[in-house]
Structure 1
Amino acid sequence: MPTVLITGASRGLGLEFVRQYRADGWDVIATCRDPAKAPELTATGAEVHALDVTDDAAVKALGRTLAGRTLDVLINNAGVYPLKGPQGSFGDIPVKPWMEALRTNVIAPWKVAETFVANLEQAERPVLATISSKMGSIGDAASPGSVVYRSSKAGVNMVVKGLSIELGPRGIICLAFHPGWVKTDMGGPNALITPEQSITGLRRLIAAATPADNGRFLAYDGQEVPW
């Protein structure tokens, strides 16, 4: 039975990843900050661990707990979108939430990868997938606003590229994904697609990934996203 580890799985995209992989018979290891406040996640029957991805000691502790277990897929999904609306505009951006975004969206995915690389190496075709966003595309940027979130996603794209260079020779396929504009708490009710549509597409890409795809930035529908 293949195994997937998913961070930030209490709601939205992470929760839908859990549901779909569970439905397909995978062994699912899911993390969230407080499982006691995640009844929908615990109801899936997945193996759930408490984890704040910004807590380096906690990440390492989970690494020790899962030592020796094979991970076929690792999904860096945990993320934050602070400062929506006017507060995220030029001239009115406080530093603290920006640092929080960088710590969660940029640094944590790298540290999680470092922690579980040995688990991935045990798999036949390991995939390390990181949920980014088209909003982090420098080539696609054409409107003002949301620089805190945009810069954090541009940063994690560089993290994925760095991981692809580091881990590609070790047989690990590293990918950055744009999930689309999804109807979640983060995406809002005006978004264009459902979590089911997004995750179905992303899982299809993960399942089909080959070493030739290492280091790519793809949308849920398979389209290449400009860096």
Structure 2
Amino acid sequence: MGELHIHSVLVSGANRGIGLGLVQHFLGMPTPPKWVFAGCRDPKGQRTHELQNLASKHPNLVIIPLKVFNPASIKAAAATVEKHLGSSGLTLLINNAGIVRNTELEEGTLENMIQVYTTNTTGPLLMGQAFLPLLKKAVQGSPGSALSCSKAAIVNMSSIAGSIAYPLEWDRMQIVSYCCSKVPPASVNMLTKCHSVGYKEHGILCITLYPGWVQTDLGSASKQKPPVTVDASMQRMPKVLSSLSKKDTSTFLDWERKVVPW
């Protein structure tokens, strides 16, 4: 298993939960990235205090406004990142932002479905498009042809709720808008497959990653306490990222590097 050597990384939904945990991990690496971009909807909002505190201690952390459901916001974020990177590219794009609405089958509405689908599925699609030029720059600046997260990669964070074949989640969490926005082949996992096929020629690794059922606001939406802490997930997930190679692109793996059935 190799080590991550990342020049730059962008994490969406970075002000809390898994996104914040990822930012903390990257900043705490023995050799941290030169640039860590933390995207969140309201950088000056009440729920960004911890992220702001990190930024005050780490000059390589840049907090940027990013609403993944808004194409104009995504383009503006890409332009901001490009200004900081200069002639270098973006090594790692982690599409982590996601929302959930507690609606069961009988309560699902058009508004809920559109809102959740736009954030959880369309958002990663538009993010990939907007940051593709910077990912391609990273490839050009990285020697060798092997795919890896240290060269250039898109990581789409998903949920085991997106697995039709995994029965436990159906008994535990029947949240129709969230499950549909995460269920293959219509959503995030199929998008990763499309990413892997479309961006393979550019040398970009693309993968879907399940961080575990983590104790976050989103993870607790089913009214049950998730078994995995953010710290426990962060101890495992970076190791998974460091181990990824060409054979893993387009796959759906969990925080313990196990293949998740679609």
Matched, 1:160 2:206: no
Structure 2 match to 1:190: 225
Contact kept, 8 Å, 1:32 with 1:49, in 2: the verdict is yes
Amino acid at match of 2:227: L
Q: 2:236 aligns with which of 201, 208, 227?
A: 201
2:77 maps to 1:62: yes
TM-score by length of 1: 0.93
Secondary structure of 1:47's counterpart equals: strand
Identity %: 30
Matches within 5 A, 1:39-118: 39-45=49-55, 46-67=61-82, 68-83=87-102, 88-118=103-133
* Partner Cα distance (2:200, 2:215) in 1: 33
Q: Distance in 1 between matches of 2:50 and 2:190?
A: 33
Deviations 1:91-135 (A, max 9, x none): 222221111010000001010011111111222321110100110
- TM-score normalized with structure 2 length: 0.81
Cα distance in 1 for residues equivalent to 2:80 and 2:8? 15
Where does structure 2 lack aligned partners over 5 or more consecutive residues?
1-5, 56-60, 143-150
Query: Which whole-Å CA distance do the structure 1 matches of 2:194 and 2:226 have between them?
Result: 31
Aligned position for 1:28 = 36
Q: What residue in structure 1 maps to residue 153 of structure 2?
A: 127
State the 1:147 CA deviation.
Answer: 1.8
Q: How large is the RMSD of aligned CA atoms in angstroms?
A: 1.5
1:90 CA displacement: 2.4
The answer for unaligned runs of 5 or more in structure 1 is none
Query: Are the counterparts in 1 of residues 7 and 90 from structure 2 also a CA contact under 8 Å?
Result: yes
Deviation, 1:200, is 2.6
Give the distance between the partners of 2:230 and 2:240, measured in 1 at CA: 15
| 8 Å Cα contact 1:29/1:48 also seen in 2 | yes
Q: Does 1:169 align with 2:201?
A: yes
Tell me the CA shift for residue 70 of structure 1.
1.6
**Aligned partners of 2:52 and 2:201: how far apart in 1?**
36
Letter in 1 for 2:125: W
Q: Indicate whether 1:139 and 2:168 are aligned.
A: no
Distance in 1 between residues matched to 2:155 and 2:233, nearest whole Å:
14
